[in-house]
Chain A
């Protein structure tokens, strides 16, 4: 007899869709409704059955695993705690605590996704809003360097083209503008597609700021975009009721990085002199937004923090994981709910394989398969509980619907802390 759980939260991406229906039978998920392809994969491919930790290629008991982990951490002089973004807030809090008590460096996957966005925010501020304001109020949507149909597939339906208080006709109540360097599924769904030359976002944004401020533009085009198109955009921005800009890796990973984002944030700030405008970074992993929050509230800085001197030091470019590892400064690593083995540049990924690593992850990721010690944990929102922060900072409770057969990330980290304090 299968059971049905409603309003399940999916933690695959930063949308945190919380309307899924999951059917499960004898501790297995048999059907997932309303989820996108990513969400389906998140629920359907997870096998909740108990698993033993794996130490240097062999299965070991949990006690043996913990003492091996303690050994690794206690003998490290410069450990790195990395990842955090797919773990629940409770686990992230423990991860930062572990870093504090160890004198380690702690960094989240923010540093290779929206880290530059954080730097931009620290430079110029960030006028933002929750996704419900997008649903209820926004009549102009600007997507810059992001492709929600691939990275956040239900974003349109649930938020930016949904019907709301002032947007009774949903998609028809809005103008949808997409800026990208190449045509994508999102550019095809747009009313206006603005194709920018790769690496020229900053120039285009600066031109838009100038036009919004009423300055004349003499050049016929900037960054591959014609003057007329830019003038048209500036006018649309100034004359909408409530505009919202969404931005993604197209800005943060491209030449200029945080400067690109700061220019967009400044443009959005400027527009509030004329109308209302907000910006929402399209955060990727289910709780990467929470990783920023937790690290910030516990030590004052959102990522790239070293506790080596006993107090928190902030160092993007220095304590960010790719730099810290590639420079050879990390001599051991705890990797929580992320996969640098698959997603870091080769030099950093290879260096990671040369040092002892402890990977805490429900799935056997590339990092887990290469780890000294893999600790297989449960998945929050399936068989363990916790909270996650949506891309707009709204925290949701993840309620388990299956009985836990594996420890949670939080339980594992508490044990690691005990090993370290001992």
Chain B
């Protein structure tokens, strides 16, 4: 049993806002204070410290084919970012694309205990899971891409809703995945013809009557009917383009909620040409659209100035970036399912486009009043590395700091911009929402992101006395970027794994996935489909339990019949 004594606790899901209280953990879970504490209770002294639930990163790219291509592609990224092996801990390297063990350590040191790898092609899911198995310290899950899946598009073309639902369910279980990811629906299939889609009603080549809108609707319906804990996770059309805000507004209206989640919305909130500028923030119109719809959430995908590595299943986007920048470019078309690309970028604060992107993200954070509808992400490593979250937190909590950074941007970018006039500041309670409570709730992980009885024993404890032993000198400790940059202590699954800033134990996390069930007759149909389409035998496609010893099924709430 562990007792975290006397800390200032922020637990928004349970309405606790900075109260001094104890947190008790036993058997890996948060428990009520015992009438009599056992003699061997471990006490973590948290007086004067901030106590948060373990952080939840609901959209990050830390494991799998694309991430590893990014690592391999960029030795220049790692050369100056190295960590030595120490005791039981492994060595590692990488800044925007850290190696797996290092990624786990960095998350733990920042106080995060749950991460969602946000995209793998289903065919490459086994790879993603193998990397996740080498990513210690956190619980995790995987989202698989379905927005350009030929079987799904065939079902939509033929109006076979039921078969579509069974297939989605089968695919989630076969790949041990957590939710449906949709990336540029139809656009990646068209990219295999050298094309893309630009509007919701553009047709997908070779699939009669299938459009991005129909793919979104079909999968949203399947997700609802299967009662998946997390709704469709959407990377929409025209990402990065100056017309993206308009298509985002249309997408929001078209989805009309339905429990959808729009990821890294910042990258899809630009306007341009027709509004008199080449490239500007369109955050206002997107924020307005989001506010008018219920049952819809998003994560921001904030840009952080400096190096980044873009990686996405959105193949045509990466090619466009390659044509624009000339940077080294990797593309990977995945048979019958998906695609993707990787390309290094620099977000330069002296560039107008970089400045606009940076402002767009902050505007979204500040314009949408309800923090429960959003999560803090940088779409790591697309907008910047995840360990820059404390920097983003400071930008949200401290408008003076914001003004300081704004003053360093190109003056032209500031002309007529919204951000300099936004005075809102987040408080720690709101930060705890967008980094813990909201992402856990959006994911449907009921035992994450809070400290109520029955929650997972994941607790992050931050101290004014930083890990290097020096006290933070600034007068605004609680809004200082150092406040949440590195934990003093971390409890993960009931184990005290970080003590005084040092990882003392390497723990393996669980992998969450769903298995909503499907009609067995689907398999005969699939066998035939695999024979005709795939280069992998049906029997060799699905993962088996022994490949995922720490897998854990999260229950679904089905709405539609037994299957």
**Contacting A276 at CB < 8 Å: which of B63, B78, B94, B194?**
B194
Docked-complex contact B193 and A18, CB < 8 angstroms: no
Docked-complex contact B72 and A122, CB < 8 angstroms: yes
Given contacts A297-B71, A298-B100, contact A132 B336 (CB under 8 A): yes
A410 to chain B, nearest CB (A): 13
- Give chain B residues whose Cβ lies under 8 Å from the Cβ of A130: 123, 332-335, 535
Chain B interface residue count, CB cutoff 8 Å, equals 65
- Give chain B residues whose Cβ lies under 8 Å from the Cβ of A278: 331, 333
B73 to chain A, nearest CB (A): 6
Residue of A whose beta carbon sits closest to that of B129: A395
Besides A127-B331, A132-B123, A397-B543, 7 more A-B contacts (Cβ < 8 Å) are A122-B74, A129-B335, A131-B535, A133-B192, A302-B72, A387-B126, A393-B127
Q: Which B residues have a C-beta under 8 Å from some C-beta of A?
A: 63, 65, 67-68, 71-75, 78-79, 82-85, 90-94, 97-101, 123-124, 126-127, 130-131, 134, 150, 191-194, 206, 319, 322-323, 327-336, 342-343, 532-537, 539-540, 543-544, 546-547
> CA of A272 to CA of B79 in the docked complex: distance in angstroms?
31
Docked-complex contact A299 and B92, CB < 8 angstroms: yes
- Give chain A residues whose Cβ lies under 8 Å from the Cβ of B322: 125, 269
> CA of A235 to CA of B319 in the docked complex: distance in angstroms?
22
Docked-complex contact A293 and B68, CB < 8 angstroms: yes
A15 to chain B, nearest CB (A): 9
Docked-complex contact A124 and B328, CB < 8 angstroms: yes
Docked-complex contact B126 and A296, CB < 8 angstroms: no
Docked-complex contact B68 and A100, CB < 8 angstroms: no
Binary interface profile of A, 274-315, with partner B (CB < 8 Å = 1, else 0)? Answer: 011010000000000000110011111110000101111010
Q: Which A residues have a C-beta under 8 Å from some C-beta of B?
A: 6-7, 9, 18-19, 89, 93, 97, 100-101, 118, 121-133, 135-137, 158-159, 162, 164-166, 241-242, 269, 272-273, 275-276, 278, 292-293, 296-302, 307, 309-312, 314, 385, 387, 389, 393-397
Given contacts A136-B533, A393-B332, contact A297 B134 (CB under 8 A): yes
- Give chain A residues whose Cβ lies under 8 Å from the Cβ of B547: 387, 397
**Contacting B330 at CB < 8 Å: which of A97, A126, A241, A395?**
A126
Given contacts A301-B78, A387-B126, contact A310 B84 (CB under 8 A): yes
Docked-complex contact B193 and A276, CB < 8 angstroms: yes
Residue of A whose beta carbon sits closest to that of B332: A128
Q: What's the dominant secondary structure at chain B's contact region?
A: mixed
> CA of A166 to CA of B536 in the docked complex: distance in angstroms?
18
Docked-complex contact A300 and B334, CB < 8 angstroms: no
Docked-complex contact B85 and A137, CB < 8 angstroms: no
Question: Across chains A and B, which 5 residue pairs bring their CB atoms closest together, nearest first?
Answer: A132-B335, A310-B84, A125-B328, A300-B93, A129-B333
- Give chain A residues whose Cβ lies under 8 Å from the Cβ of B343: 125
> CA of A242 to CA of B195 in the docked complex: distance in angstroms?
12
Docked-complex contact B540 and A18, CB < 8 angstroms: yes
> CA of A296 to CA of B334 in the docked complex: distance in angstroms?
21
Docked-complex contact B72 and A127, CB < 8 angstroms: no
- Give chain A residues whose Cβ lies under 8 Å from the Cβ of B85: 100-101, 307, 310-311
- Give chain B residues whose Cβ lies under 8 Å from the Cβ of A128: 330-333
Docked-complex contact A122 and B73, CB < 8 angstroms: yes
**Contacting A89 at CB < 8 Å: which of B83, B91, B130, B191?**
B130
A158 to chain B, nearest CB (A): 7
> CA of A312 to CA of B534 in the docked complex: distance in angstroms?
38
> CA of A312 to CA of B124 in the docked complex: distance in angstroms?
26
Docked-complex contact B194 and A275, CB < 8 angstroms: yes
Given contacts A272-B194, A299-B93, contact A125 B329 (CB under 8 A): yes
Docked-complex contact A131 and B335, CB < 8 angstroms: yes
